[in-house]
Structure 1
Amino acid sequence: MQNPSLLQILMRPLEHKWSKLGDDDDDLVPLLECLTSVTIAAGPSFANWAPIVYERCYRIIHTSLIQYTTWQQNQDLDEPDRSFVIVALDLLSGLVQGLGMQLAPSLNSSNPHLLTLVVACLKHPQASVRQSGYALIGDLAMSCFEVLRPHLPGVMPELIAQLEPSPKVEFISASNNAAWSAGEIALHYGTDPEFQQWVPQLILRLIPILLNPGCPKSLSENAAVTIGRIGLVQPEAVAPHLESFAMAWCQALVDIKDNEEKDSAFRGFCTLIQANPSGISKDFHWFCHAVVRWQNPSAELNEMFSQILQAFRQMAGAQWENQMLSFGPTIAERLRARYNV
């Protein structure tokens, strides 16, 4: 798909259809959905089409928000179809994923700024619009953080409010995307003190999600990953809470397949243990269970596991062998084989 000549062939009929359809034509929805997949797959090769695609998505979102405001003031009118704003947000996510900072000139040239519109989408009463809005926020954090950053004072209060421990069924996907995007924002802020202002509120919303046994599994997993990622960059704010969520955190992520998100979350969790070792003491067996479920941890994470296990072995002294026996043979054997403890 990144071959320019092949992409040109593919885009020719799509461009033809694009030019024929109005912004409120129902056939535009599947076309924008198709283009979302194309932009992600094409990556930088899509650059020639990016400005016109961006401008149309922006126009659709802007118009849809105006229409929705008008409808809220006079509900005798027909409610606007939210499908258009959703697919436009999703296509912008595709552009951001595919082009990254190449898209920054377009993102920064609109008036009002695109992020002003996205924040309005985060306040939209329809959860599906908020869901796509938070997906775009997360993609901007990953690929265009410097574009997103000045607008985070408007984004973060909405994001934090979306993090409910018992969301209605129709709100779950929006909450999932909000939790995920918070983790991406944390990673890209890193140790920058500017992020600290939101950490206490985020932690106070994320921990109850993790501790709620009735919470959807996907939301518990996203909350755990984001707590870990915040812990990686701002451990001093999270470590004092470790004892309250350590067991639930390990249980939420123990069965997740190895990937970079999980790796960064576990590196954060290990950072919290190093900052507050007593916070894991009563749930140390859950940590060990989670450690041995890893197949291919990164070298950095593997070293953190080793350091923590060796430190706890040293602290336990003569009681270490009894502690290992209490874990069961599978965990004990894997810990010995991998980490020589």
Structure 2
Amino acid sequence: MINFHLYAVSLVGLSAFATLEEEAAEELTPRLEIILQHLLCAYGKYQRRNMRILYDAIGTLADAVGSELNQPKYLEILMPPLIAKWQQLANADKDLFPLLECFTSIAQALGPGFSQFAEPVFQRCIGIIQIQQLAKVDYATAGVQYDKEFIVCSLDLLSGLAEGLGSSVESLVATSNLRDLLLQCCTDQAADIRQSALALLGDLARVCPKHLYPRITDFLRVAAEQLSITAVKEAVSVANNACWAIGELAVQVHQEVAPIVLTVISSLAHILQNGEGLNKSLLENSAITIGRLAWVCPELVAPHVEHFIQSWCITLCMIRDDYEKEDAFRGLCAIARANPSGTVSSLGYLCKAVASWHEIRSQDFHNEISQVLHGYKQMLGKETWEQGMSTLEPPEVQRLSRFGV
């Protein structure tokens, strides 16, 4: 058995333990109480310069065990010293950085269990962003030196709150000026601020989209600008988050995305067609977002599908089975119905994409794909359909048989 006390009180041991946490993950759960006790014992012994290592270990532990941490006996050990330090540090103290990162992991792990700590954390993040934005233009009035890292860490913690609290974060957002602050951050010159801001935009779109509505046109425009060829080359991580955020907004606001659909589709088609060497996450998000835009605005996307359907379907094959992939395929089905003649020449690619599904749990979604495939089969005729099937691999044909074709 691991001597957790030895790991906790030694700096070298604590660094090693952080690595162990990542590897052991849920296997740590049975020993969670003793691990927390020893980590917090170390908390009382460490000097200021070593606290980052400890915060990292606590955050990594939260990431590893997730919701298992959400028990009163664990929170009674973990939270009081962290909150005491949180209250002790000034808004311009750089020692706050690792604590903000630690709280982000804890908020995500605790989920709704973090609600008892949420309001002061939320309000402080808002305050930090405000004062740093002021410091950027008027140091004398702000009274602090500008440091973009404060904004990045605060945006990331707000994302952690949105992810952890879900729709419960709405009451906090509703009584704040987060929407306007977020739009400012989405247009910031610093790429890492835009990256974190666009991630938060996507998170808020999922849990409280109505609070984004008054500025939805601006958010969509700003996000779309991050997908230009030049912008992607300059900051691929920003483009990735912008792409994802647009997709999340699309499934919430529907026709409100119409003004930017063609611009975004053009940018994402270029990404898919020139994807060699690009970030895999950007390619997958591009395919998902094209699908989501096609799902909510098929009449706008369908006339242009011939230009990108093959690269789109190739990328869809790479995506694991989940709700995002389902959204993308609902868009593919909508396009197939709206413009069957524009997709039939790439039917082999479409069928390969459908065959990439290992399991479809939704009967409604299964039926939707089945109807599209039967529609093609009827349109082409038996002989032409079978010729097309002969170009597929046997396992692909087998998976397609689940749809009765």
Decide: shared fold, TM above 0.5: yes
Corresponding residue for 1:281? 344
Name which of 110, 117, 128 aligns with 2:181: 117
| 1:102 positional shift | 2.6
The answer to whether residue 94 in structure 2 is matched with residue 26 in structure 1 is yes
Paired amino acid for 1:22 = A
1:141-166, Cα deviation, whole Å (9 max, x unpaired): 00111112222133122111111235
Determine which of 118, 130, 135 is the counterpart of 1:62.
Answer: 130
Checking the alignment, whether the CA contact within 8 Å between 1:166 and 1:209 is kept in structure 2 is no
User: Quick one: which of 314, 322, 329 aligns to 1:259?
Assistant: 322
Query: 2:390 aligns to what?
Result: 325
Alpha-carbon deviation of 1:230? 1.2
Letter in 2 for 1:239: A
Give the equivalent residue in structure 1 for 2:247. 183
> What is the percent sequence identity of the aligned residues?
40
Q: Report if aligned partners of 2:293, 2:331 keep a CA contact under 8 Å in 1.
A: yes
Matches of 2:319 and 2:108, distance apart in 1: 25
Tell me which residue corresponds to 2:258. 196
Following superposition, the deviation at residue 198 of structure 1 comes to 3.0
Q: CA, structure 1 residues 309+104, in 2 after alignment: closer, same or farther (shift >3 Å)?
A: closer
Q: Which amino acid aligns with 2:151?
A: V
1:141-196 deviation per Cα after TM superposition (whole angstroms, max 9, x unaligned): 00111112222133122111111235455511111000001000001123xx4332
Q: Report if the CA contact (8 A) 1:210-1:249 is conserved.
A: yes
> How far apart, in 1, do the equivalents of 2:384 and 2:159 lie?
53
Q: Which has the higher contact order (CA 8 A, sep 6+)?
A: 1
CA RMSD in angstroms comes to 2.0
For 1:168 and 1:209, how far apart are their aligned partners in 2? 9
CA distance in 1, matches of 2:207, 2:131: 26
Matched residue type, 2:368? M
Q: Name the CA distance, whole Å, in 2 between partners of 1:175 and 1:93.
A: 18
Partner of 2:33: none
Match of 1:36? 104
**Per-residue deviation at 1:249?**
0.4
2:268 maps to 206
CA distance in 2: counterparts of 1:209 and 1:79, whole angstroms: 39
| Residues 232 and 268 in structure 1, CA contact (< 8 A), matched pair in contact too | yes
One-letter identity of the residue aligned with 2:273: L
Counterpart of 1:267, as a letter, is R
Q: Which 10-residue stretch deviates more, 127-136 or 40-49? A: 40-49
The reply on whether 1:334 has 2:399 as its aligned counterpart is yes
2:219 corresponds, among 155, 164, 169, to 155
Question: How far did 1:335 drift?
Answer: 2.3
SS of residue in 2 equivalent to 1:49: helix
Do the aligned partners of residues 304 and 163 (structure 1) sit closer, same or farther apart at CA in structure 2, a change above 3 Å counting?
Answer: same
For the pair 1:171 / 2:235, whether they are aligned, the reply is: yes
- Structure-2 separation of matches of 1:319 and 1:105: 57
Letter in 1 for 2:391: S
Q: In the alignment, is residue 219 of structure 1 matched against residue 287 of structure 2?
A: no
Q: Is the 8 A contact 2:220 2:257 kept in 1?
A: no
Q: How does 1:24-103 map to 2 (within 5 A)?
A: 24-70=92-138, 80-103=146-169
User: Contact 1:4–1:45 (CA<8 Å) still a contact in 2?
Assistant: no
User: Structure 1 pair 235/30, CA: closer, same or farther in 2 (3 Å)?
Assistant: same
1:246–1:279 CA contact under 8 A, matched in 2 = no
Structure 2's unaligned 5+ residue stretches are 1-68
Q: Show structure 1 runs of 5+ residues with no match.
A: 72-77
CA contact (8 A) 1:165 1:212 kept: no
TM-score where L is the length of structure 2 = 0.77
Q: Which residue of 2 aligns with 1:130?
A: 194
Tell me which amino acid in the other structure corresponds to 1:282.
Answer: S
Rounded Cα–Cα distance in structure 2 between residues aligned with 1:65 and 1:311:
56
Quote the Cα distance in structure 2 between the aligned partners of 1:306 and 1:98: 37
Q: SS in structure 2 opposite 1:43?
A: helix
The number of aligned residues is 330
Deviation at 1:313, TM superposition (A): 1.5
> What is the distance in 1 between the residues matched to 2:72 and 2:298?
45
Conserved in 1, the CA contact under 8 Å of 2:104 and 2:157? yes
Structure 2 distance, partners of 1:257, 1:101, is 26
Query: 2: distance between equivalents of 1:155 and 1:62?
Result: 19
Q: Work out whether residues 232 and 239 of structure 2, in 8 Å CA contact, stay in contact via their aligned partners in 1.
A: no
Which of 300, 316, 319 is residue 364 of structure 2 equivalent to?
Answer: 300
Secondary structure (helix, strand or coil) at the match of 2:116 reads coil
Paired position in structure 2 for 1:74? none
The alignment partner of 1:295 has SS state of coil
Aligned residue type for 1:199 = V
